């Protein structure tokens, strides 16, 4: 069901002081094609959902002007809306609302997902060639759903379909981290793309992404104490670095421990962290105790493994401390600490409640650190979306030729890892303060593993 509630012939936005003019073509609410059954009208958030970061995951997929596609722009938009409506019958919490940003449940009232069409007054190539990104990307997303600027924002998902001047397209989708993690987001996008490509959720070729829901009892909100701190983006810049598999293979051999070769993600995370921490130390003249926060998909960590399609935040964060100068810490040592922390603290998890308890215990341990504010400000985070094939997200528009993450939702001092679209490496999105980035991007050892 599609409800049109606003149509504008012309509207301009200005982003970050730059004239990023674009025209809003239409704005609609997309509802599930079938009403959500009454017994599913309340979706209780898990303890981990309630502890999740108050942020959005904003991803934009870029598609070229495809001569093989005979659909008009209007028809392409119609296909996306109708397939989204069908997909929401399975992912029904996305079409609901929270009574407040700290509500312990979602009211699955089928209010719908905002879907905006926009005409962008620039070419797609401009965005594909960016190696230095700023918040100008934010204008590609629906209703500023890249961060929580408005405390009253209770929407969970937003979509903006962007038509570039060259005929290329940008599909920008933003999901609240409160409702799910990267795996949840990925399964939703995969299902929606499949329905759009084949025209029906019942088509035999549609990828059977059937979300697995876990039922939780309704509890009081445990979020409030963890939602007050605003995202600090002061002087933050984003750079993209590509690490080919051949170079990652060399890196893995360099940091292997007792003939135990780490994964690509573990090896690259250690390299990025060590390089960034060294850059900060060179700038300040001294090294400060810091932590490396790593997001971990927990679906395979349970004693009884959960399906990858399990809905919600089935993830945890491990804290890897560094209490010595990073130049004196080998990459092998960082990898060893990552593996040790994972094996000692995350293996054998029995339930989602256990994950919530672990996160709360970790946060309590952090708060007891002396000079906690300095420790947090000097720490780093890493999240990986590797393993999810963005190259397969064909919504009937062809294969994407680029993917980007908006800056608006992201804390400084971090790394987001995604597979390259050709499958031959990892693309690292690095978020650092400008002065630290200048030293980071000129680190010869780190650059030796990058694509030339």
The Cα 448–Cα 165 span in angstroms is: 37
* Summary mean pLDDT of the chain: 83
Q: Do domains 2-198 and 237-447 have the same CATH topology?
A: yes
Share of the chain above pLDDT 90, in %: 43
Which of 27, 145, 138 shows the shortest CA–CA distance to 77? 27
The Cα 178–Cα 270 span in angstroms is: 28
Convert the pLDDT of each residue in 22-61 to its tens digit: 789 999 999 999 999 999 999 999 999 998 887 888 899 9
The Cα 307–Cα 149 span in angstroms is: 34
Convert the pLDDT of each residue in 315-345 to its tens digit: 988 888 776 655 556 888 889 889 888 888 8
pTM > 0.85: yes or no: yes
Residue 408 φ then ψ, to 5°: -60, -25
Residue 92 has pLDDT above 60, yes or no: yes
Contact present, 71 and 125 (Cβ < 8 Å): no
pLDDT of residue 228: 39
The one catalytic residue in 107, 134, 337, 394 is: 394
Q: What is the mean pLDDT of residues 380-396?
A: 88
Convert the pLDDT of each residue in 164-176 to its tens digit: 998 999 999 999 9
Angle of helix 245-254 relative to helix 331-345, nearest 10 degrees?
Answer: 80
Domain 2-198 part of CATH 3.90.180.10: no
Q: Tokens 């309590």 identify what position? A: 364
Residue 351 has pLDDT above 80, yes or no: yes
Q: Is 107 marked active-site?
A: no
The one catalytic residue in 177, 181, 411, 419 is: 177
pLDDT of residue 15: 43
- Arch. (CATH architecture) of 237-447: 2-Layer Sandwich (3.30)
Residue 397 has pLDDT above 80, yes or no: yes
pLDDT category at 361 given cuts 50, 70, 90 is confident
Which of 387, 385, 434, 440 shows the shortest CA–CA distance to 182? 385
pLDDT of residue 12: 41
- Between strands 22-30 and 2-6, the pairing is antiparallel
The Cα 290–Cα 270 span in angstroms is: 14
Q: Is 394 marked active-site?
A: yes
Spell out the domain ranges in the chain. 2-198, 237-447
The Cα 64–Cα 402 span in angstroms is: 9
pLDDT of residue 441: 94
């Amino acid at each position: 069901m599609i409800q049109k509630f606003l149509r504008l012939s012309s509207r301009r936005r200005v982003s970050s002081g730059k004239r990023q003019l674009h025209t809003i073509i239409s704005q609609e609410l997309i509802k599930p094609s079938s009403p959500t059954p009454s017994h599913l009208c309340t979706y209780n958030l898990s303890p981990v959902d309630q502890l999740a970061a108050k942020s959005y995951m904003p991803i934009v997929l870029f598609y070229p002007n495809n001569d093989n596609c005979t659909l008009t722009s209007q028809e392409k938009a119609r296909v996306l809306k109708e397939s989204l409506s069908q997909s929401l019958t399975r992912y029904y919490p996305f079409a609901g609302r929270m009574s407040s940003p700290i509500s312990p449940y979602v009211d699955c009232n089928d209010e719908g997902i905002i879907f905006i069409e926009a005409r962008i007054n620039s070419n797609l190539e401009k965005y594909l060639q960016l190696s230095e990104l700023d918040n100008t990307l934010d204008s590609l997303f629906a209703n500023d759903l890249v961060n929580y600027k408005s405390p009253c924002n209770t929407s969970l998902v937003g979509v903006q379909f962007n038509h570039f001047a060259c005929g290329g397209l940008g599909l920008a989708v933003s999901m609240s981290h409160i409702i799910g993690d990267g795996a949840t987001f990925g399964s939703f996008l995969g299902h929606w793309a499949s329905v759009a490509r084949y025209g029906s959720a019942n088509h035999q070729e549609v990828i059977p992404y059937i979300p697995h829901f876990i039922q939780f009892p309704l509890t009081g909100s445990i979020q409030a104490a963890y939602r007050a701190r605003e995202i600090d983006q002061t002087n933050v810049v984003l750079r993209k670095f590509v690490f080919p598999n051949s170079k990652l293979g060399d890196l893995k051999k360099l940091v292997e421990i007792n003939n135990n070769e780490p994964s690509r993600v573990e090896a690259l995370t250690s390299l990025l962290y060590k390089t960034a921490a060294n850059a900060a130390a060179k700038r300040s003249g001294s090294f400060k105790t810091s932590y490396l926060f790593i997001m971990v998909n927990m679906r395979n960590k349970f004693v009884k493994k959960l399906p990858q399609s399990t809905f919600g935040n089935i993830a945890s964060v491990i804290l890897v401390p560094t209490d010595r100068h990073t130049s004196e810490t080998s990459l092998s040592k960082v990898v060893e600490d990552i593996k040790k922390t994972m094996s000692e603290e995350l293996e054998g998890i029995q339930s989602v409640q256990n994950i919530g308890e672990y996160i709360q215990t970790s946060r309590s341990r952090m708060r007891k650190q002396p000079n906690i504010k300095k420790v947090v400000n000097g720490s780093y985070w890493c999240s990986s979306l590797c393993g999810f094939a963005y190259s397969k997200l064909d919504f009937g528009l062809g294969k994407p030729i680029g993917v980007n993450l908006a800056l608006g939702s992201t804390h400084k001092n971090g790394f987001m890892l995604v597979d390259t679209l050709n499958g031959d490496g990892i693309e690292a999105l690095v978020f650092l303060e400008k002065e630290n980035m200048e030293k980071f991007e000129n680190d010869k050892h780190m650059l030796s593993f990058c694509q030339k």
